[in-house]
Amino acid sequence: MFNPGTGDGNGETKTGRVADLMDRVAHGLAAIDDIVAELADGGDIDGLAAVLGRRAGLPAADVARSLSGPLADAASACRRGRVGVNGFSAVLRLRRRLGCDEGINPVASLADYARSAAATADRASERLDSARSGA
């Protein structure tokens, strides 16, 4: 799971990288979907969980469990982090590489995600809050 003290071998900590990525988004230098795709396509689950966790107000460990858990939980984490369809597509690719979504139709999953409204996203993400409070 996410360990903020773990470096990448080049002297950069994961915490520093996540802060840099979030700064790029905050200053309009990168879209969140681009950051999510970069992390997901690179297989960086810890970085992805940290970025989504910061945007969603959730601990990175909870988001990491959601990303590798049931598809509905991964979608909720992405919705809560205000990730668009392109970013969610990258998450689906990551989940497929990890063997999380055998038998899942990615086209249908993307279509379902695209139809989700912001209000629906907030209601769906309450499940994550409930799970965290009850755990």
Q: Does any domain span residue 123?
A: yes
6 within a domain of the structure (yes/no): no
Q: Is 5 inside a domain boundary?
A: no
pLDDT at 7: 38
Q: Could you give the CA distance from residue 1 to residue 119 in angstroms, rounded to a whole number? A: 30
Please report whether residue 3 resides in a domain: no
Domain count, the chain: 1
Any domain includes 127: yes
Question: In a 3-state reduction of DSSP, which class is residue 13?
Answer: strand
Residue 9 domain flag: no
Structural domain span for residue 34: 14-134
pLDDT of residue 132: 75
| Residue 71 CA: distances (Å) to CA of 30, 77, 91, 102 | 26, 10, 10, 11
Answer yes or no: is 83 within a domain: yes
35-73 pLDDT, tens digit per residue, is 999 999 999 999 999 999 999 999 999 999 999 999 999
DSSP 69-86: S-HHHHHHHHHHTT--HH
